[in-house]
Amino acid sequence: MTDNKPETAQIFGKGSNQVVWLTIILGLAGVAGAGALLFIIDRGPLHTNQGVYVNQDVPFSHDHHTEGLGLDCRYCHTSVEDSAFAGIPPTATCMNCHKTVWANTEMLEPVRDSWQTGQPLEWNRVNDLPDFVYFNHSIHVSSGVGCESCHGPVNEMPLVYQEHSLQMRWCLECHRSPEDFVRPKDEVFNLDWEPSDEGMSQKELGKKLVAEYGLEPKQNCSTCHR
């Protein structure tokens, strides 16, 4: 007997499979590309504010005062060794010099106004951590972490900007490998210090100091998120 069943028409052409696979591949590539773009943005200055100068009422130059005049960080940041907050200098600290030095310059008019009225100067924070992050300056200073490790070469900054991302992964780099960052405690405020000054590499010196100082940086969440 002859099979008289009608032939079924082919709905999809021979190239349909290739089209489907190409669509899937392009879709996955698009998702991966979007993820990579978000990854780059998250670590870039557009999000972290690295390298962005912060406007101040008085354009204070760390370069001039530290590298030029040789002022120690602690002259202005008086509480950095004893408390979580490094401290912002009162107007009286500025006026110790500026009663006589550049006493009539227009640039320092806000300082003189503050001195005469008793209203403190308002400085805008440059390295500004989120409110949910706890950071203690004194603990890091007493552990041999130099100012430059977090703040960058402020002695070369006419206007201060944020050097590092200040993101959690950046903090963990130090907590996981403190030997890559610690220095002798008496060099914490020396912005020109180099490991070669001790005749060693940073890794060699760091391992020695980590053992000497008994450093065991914590990595649990509650250390910073309290």
Q: What is the DSSP string of 9-66?
A: PP-S-TTHHHHHHHHHHHHHHHHHHHHHHHHHHHHSHHHH-BTPBPP-SS---HIIII
**Is residue 141 packed enough to be buried (19+ CB in 10 Å), middle (13-18) or exposed (0-12)?**
buried
Q: Indicate whether 162 and 197 sit together in one domain.
A: yes
Q: Indicate whether 180 and 107 sit together in one domain.
A: no
R_g over Cα of the chain? 29
Q: Indicate whether 147 and 113 sit together in one domain.
A: no
In a domain, 6, yes or no: no
**Is residue 164 packed enough to be buried (19+ CB in 10 Å), middle (13-18) or exposed (0-12)?**
middle
In a domain, 195, yes or no: yes
Quote the domain boundaries for residue 103.
91-122
The pLDDT assigned to 98 comes to 96
In a domain, 153, yes or no: yes
The pLDDT assigned to 226 comes to 85
Give me 58's structure tokens: 């008085």
Q: How far is CA 218 from CA 57, 116, 176, 226, in A?
A: 38, 46, 8, 14
The pLDDT assigned to 110 comes to 96
Q: Indicate whether 161 and 113 sit together in one domain.
A: no
Q: How does pLDDT run along the chain (226 residues), one tens digit per residue?
A: 555 655 555 666 666 777 777 788 888 888 887 777 776 666 667 778 899 898 999 999 999 999 999 999 999 999 999 999 999 999 999 999 999 999 999 999 999 999 999 999 999 999 999 999 999 999 999 999 999 999 999 999 999 999 999 999 999 999 999 999 999 999 999 999 999 999 999 999 999 999 999 999 999 999 999 8
- Are 174 and 219 in contact by the 8 Å Cβ rule? The answer is no
Q: What is the DSSP letter of 88?
A: -
In a domain, 1, yes or no: no
Beta carbons within 8 Å of 88's beta carbon, 6+ residues apart: 76, 77, 123
Pick the last residue of a domain from 122, 142, 168.
Answer: 122
- The total domain count for the chain is 3
